[in-house]
Amino acid sequence: MELETAKAVISGGASGLGFATAQRVIDAGGQVVLLDINDEQGATSAASLGDRATYINTDVSNEASVKAAIAAANETMGGITFAVNCAGIATAGRTLGRDGPWPSEQFNKVIQVNLVGSYNVTKEAAAFMQHNEPNVDGERGVVVSTASIAAFEGQIGQAAYSASKGGVVGMMLPLAREFAQFGIRVNTIAPGVFLTPMVAGMSDEVQESLGNQVPFPPRLGRPEEYADTAAFIYSTAMINGETIRVDGAIRMQPR
């Protein structure tokens, strides 16, 4: 698949990893539709990317919202070849905290956004991808979802987040196997400690401390490095049903 002709839908595309990926697609010559819930940032980000970018308000945890947004994106770009799931929340809390057991309502919200949200975008985008004309390798589309190293080494307080990201990793292979008949590849990126908007709001000292925990390079990951990985997956037909850790060899400690 050639990024210069990509027609990409990117959830969480208004900022962070999603926006960096959108920039990568636009720089290559492709088109993007940013799916997000932050209307002000979404409009600003789409405008900064130019006339090949559009923003659509989308609640990924709401199936009807995703269905409408993906249909609109397909209409806007004249098809969809690339779906990238970057929308997510990192709400944390000890299961047995000072105020008692963590409410299941908060656990469910993390699962709905991170896991069900990724599934919603994947299935709706794939429904359009399956009708694309195949390339010489028989490919019709590519899906990239965002997990986390927390899927493998979740820290104390990350039960919900780790469960959601572990679910993203777990559903990838069954989807890749099912979608193979349509020429649609499904992969996952598991980032380490990256400079996302959430981390950017922390003090310089905290950011430096987090970066120093990474064996090499001893710094925070850059959103552009995530985007480069997504672009590599899109252009490499043999990468399918795989989770790629992009983490500088860090392995998270319990806390």
Question: How far apart, in whole angstroms, are the C-alpha atoms of residue 64 and residue 68?
Answer: 6
Is 226 in the active site? no
CATH node for 3-193+223-245: 3.40.50.720
Listed by start position, the domains of the chain span: 3-193+223-245
pLDDT band at 84 (very low <50, low <70, confident <90, very high): very high
- pLDDT (average), residues 181-190: 98
pLDDT for 202 equals 76
pTM of the predicted structure, to 2 decimals: 0.96
Q: pLDDT tens-digit profile of 139-158? A: 999 999 999 999 999 999 99
pLDDT band at 52 (very low <50, low <70, confident <90, very high): very high
Which of the following is catalytic: 55, 119, 161, 234?
Answer: 161
Could you tell me the sign of the dihedral formed by the alpha carbons of 105, 60, 89, 189, in that order? positive
- pLDDT (average), residues 227-242: 98
